[in-house]
Amino acid sequence: MAASGTALAGLAAFGLFCVGCATGGTGTRDEGPAGTQPVVQVSPRPTPSGTAPPTRRVDAVALLKRDSTVSERVREGLRPCAGKAYPVDTSYGSMTGGPSADVVVNVMSCADSVGLGTYVYRAREDGSYENVFMAEVPAVYGTIDRGDLVVTTQVYGSKDPLAYPSGSEVVTYRWADGRFTEHDRVHNDFSRAVDGGGDIEAPTQAEPVEPADPSGN
């Protein structure tokens, strides 16, 4: 009987020890899996927000030439610089909440890649586009930044060379009540000091892009 009681007590103690290991509260396996078994970390798959409108490529050159609000000077001067490459940059993004992505078109000069005009086109329900913003001033360039339209214009003094403007105006526009309104403005004055007295190499400009296929494919 004494031997049987001792054995039962031992089995009970062993059972309590195993329970402690399984629950992870104070057992010896709290540090994680032992041996050479790999530890798999599963990250939750991001779910699409569904808020971004689809992007539909457009022929930016044809869009500009058909737009009577674009100045005649820009439309008539819009020709390929070399071969079939037009001096036109095109960006797509969501700014106005239209049925498809908005289109920002920047027109530059062939000789020195200086901006001639920035235009924003908003998609209509029927698939056509309307001009909702236009800036035709020298050295202008528009971009899309987190849903806002940012237009940068270089400021030149009377003796400034083309490569070295005196400053810049950076204006942020936000879409509200069916139009773009100014949200923020930053003016930058650039330093005119040149260290060492040598010539500074002007920054290289990106090559003009070839327009998209007119069929939209």
Cα separation, 67 vs 59, in Å, equals: 12
Q: In Å, what is the CA distance from 4 to each residue of 13, 14, 16, 45, 50? A: 14, 15, 19, 57, 70
pLDDT > 90: percent of the chain: 55
What is the rounded average pLDDT of the residues 43-54?
A: 55
Would residue 15 count as lying in a domain? no
Span of 10-24, 27-41, 109-123 with lowest mean pLDDT? 27-41
Would residue 90 count as lying in a domain? yes
Structural domain count of the chain: 1
90 touches 58 (CB < 8 A): yes
Would residue 204 count as lying in a domain? no
What is the rounded average pLDDT of the residues 67-83?
A: 93
Cα separation, 195 vs 31, in Å, equals: 60
CA nearest neighbour of 180 among 148, 154, 152, 145: 148
Higher pLDDT, 88 or 216: 88
pLDDT computed for residue 194 by the predictor: 57
| pLDDT tier at 87, thresholds 50, 70, 90 | very high
pTM: 0.66
Residue 52: CB atoms within 10 Å: 10
pLDDT computed for residue 35 by the predictor: 44
Would residue 138 count as lying in a domain? yes
Cα separation, 144 vs 54, in Å, equals: 16
Would residue 34 count as lying in a domain? no
20 touches 27 (CB < 8 A): yes
Please determine, for residue 17, whether its predicted confidence score (pLDDT) is greater than 90.
Answer: no
Domain of residue 151, residue span: 60-189
pLDDT computed for residue 210 by the predictor: 47
What is the rounded average pLDDT of the residues 7-25?
A: 46
pLDDT tens across 159-173, in order?
A: 888 888 999 999 999
Span of 91-95, 111-115, 201-205 with lowest mean pLDDT? 201-205
Please determine, for residue 58, whether its predicted confidence score (pLDDT) is greater than 80.
Answer: yes
Would residue 74 count as lying in a domain? yes
pLDDT tens across 121-152, in order?
A: 999 999 999 999 999 999 999 999 999 999 99
Please determine, for residue 3, whether its predicted confidence score (pLDDT) is greater than 60.
Answer: no
What is the rounded average pLDDT of the residues 197-216?
A: 47
Would residue 69 count as lying in a domain? yes
What is the rounded average pLDDT of the residues 100-110?
A: 96
What is the rounded average pLDDT of the residues 206-212?
A: 47
136 touches 107 (CB < 8 A): no
Would residue 209 count as lying in a domain? no
